[in-house]
């Protein structure tokens, strides 16, 4: 049975809050280091990788879960040269139902497996604007909010730079109010400029209200927020 995507979106308030964000970087680093060792121990044939990949692409959970000769933790297996696992593939193909079933089988740290470019499955969800699967992943592992992906960008920056308004606003609601205690201020500034460039004005307004000095800062092109708005309008 192939996957069918539902349209019900999770509320950010339904996702449990992290208790100590200041320790996130250390914890993530340690977990991902151990995870890489575990991945290296899994050895499967190209035929098995191909079967898993096809099942993930088509969203066929029954097929994927019926392979008796594939290791029980097959979701940790990189399926191609980009390091994509079944979860990465399912999310990139928007197979939400398949991804949700897969997440239910996984451990928290399994969701932190990165591709070669650094993107976790959560980063891919942010980049593709899939709010439902982002909520599913975040309920399982709150640390995903702080694991950087390609170009050393946080998931909310990836969503904002891609212009996914609903995703960016969802992730913004999931973040704590005191961003300056968790994120380097340059990350906050970059997020602010991404939001203006891609018309995510609600988030830009909230950031500006919290951090008024953003109004006088310049982006990489040397433009202030007001100058950017003048160009857009």
Residue 182 lies in a domain: yes
Q: Round to whole Å and give the CA distance between 207 and 203.
A: 6
Q: What's the pLDDT at 69?
A: 65
Let me know whether 228 and 132 are in one domain: no
Question: How far apart are the C-alpha atoms of 135 and 120, rounded to whole Å?
Answer: 14
Indicate whether 118 and 181 sit together in one domain: no
- pLDDT tens sequence across 153-205: 999 999 999 999 999 999 999 999 999 999 999 999 999 999 999 999 999 99
Q: Are the C-beta atoms of residues 215 and 225 closer than 8 Å to each other?
A: yes
Lowest mean pLDDT among 37-41, 166-170, 226-230: 37-41
Claim to verify: residue 158 and residue 205 sit in the same structural domain: no
Give the pLDDT of residue 185: 95
Residue 14 lies in a domain: no
User: Between 34 and 205, where is the model more confident?
Assistant: 205
Question: What is the reported pTM?
Answer: 0.81
CB 195 within 8 A of CB 207: yes
Q: Decide if 9 is inside a domain.
A: no
Is 13 a member of any domain? Answer: no
Residues 95, 42 share a domain: yes
Between residues 7 and 207, which one has the greater pLDDT? 207
The reply to whether 39 and 85 lie within a common domain is yes
Number of domains in the chain: 2
Rounded distance between C-alpha atoms, residue 125 and residue 119, angstroms: 10
Q: Same domain for 61 and 147? A: yes
Rounded distance, CA 87 to CA 110, Å? 10
Q: Single out the residue in 109, 137, 162 at which a domain terminates.
A: 162
Q: Given 162, 189, 208, which residue is the final one in a domain?
A: 162
Tell me the average pLDDT across 208-230.
92
Query: Looking at 162, 186, 206, which one is the last position of a domain?
Result: 162
Q: Report the distance separating Cα 120 and Cα 38, nearest Å.
A: 17
CATH label of the domain that carries residue 105? 1.25.40.20
List, for residues 80-126, the tens digit of each pLDDT value. 999 999 999 999 999 999 999 999 999 999 999 999 999 999 999 99
**In terms of domains, do 158 and 187 share one?**
no
What domain range is 182 assigned to? 176-233
């Amino acid at each position: 049975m192939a996957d069918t995507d539902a349209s019900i979106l999770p509320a950010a308030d339904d996702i449990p809050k992290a208790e100590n964000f200041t320790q996130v970087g250390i914890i993530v680093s340690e977990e991902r280091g151990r995870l890489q060792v575990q991945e290296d121990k899994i050895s499967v044939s190209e035929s098995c990788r191909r079967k898993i990949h096809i099942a993930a692409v088509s969203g066929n959970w029954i097929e994927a879960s019926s392979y008796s000769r594939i290791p029980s933790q097959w979701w940790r297996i990189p399926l191609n040269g980009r390091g994509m696992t079944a979860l990465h593939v399912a999310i990139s193909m928007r197979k939400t139902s398949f991804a949700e079933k897969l997440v239910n089988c996984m451990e928290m740290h399994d969701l932190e497996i990165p591709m070669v470019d650094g993107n976790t499955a959560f980063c891919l969800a942010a980049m593709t604007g899939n709010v439902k699967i982002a909520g599913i992943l975040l309920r399982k592992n709150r640390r995903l909010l702080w694991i950087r992906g390609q170009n050393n960008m946080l998931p909310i920056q990836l969503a904002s730079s891609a212009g996914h308004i609903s995703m960016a606003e969802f992730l913004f609601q999931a973040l704590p109010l005191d961003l300056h205690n968790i994120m380097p201020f340059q990350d906050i500034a970059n997020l602010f400029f991404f939001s203006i460039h891609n018309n995510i004005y609600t988030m830009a307004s909230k950031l500006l209200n919290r951090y008024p000095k953003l109004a006088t800062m310049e982006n990489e092109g040397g433009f202030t927020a007001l100058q950017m708005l003048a160009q857009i309008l």
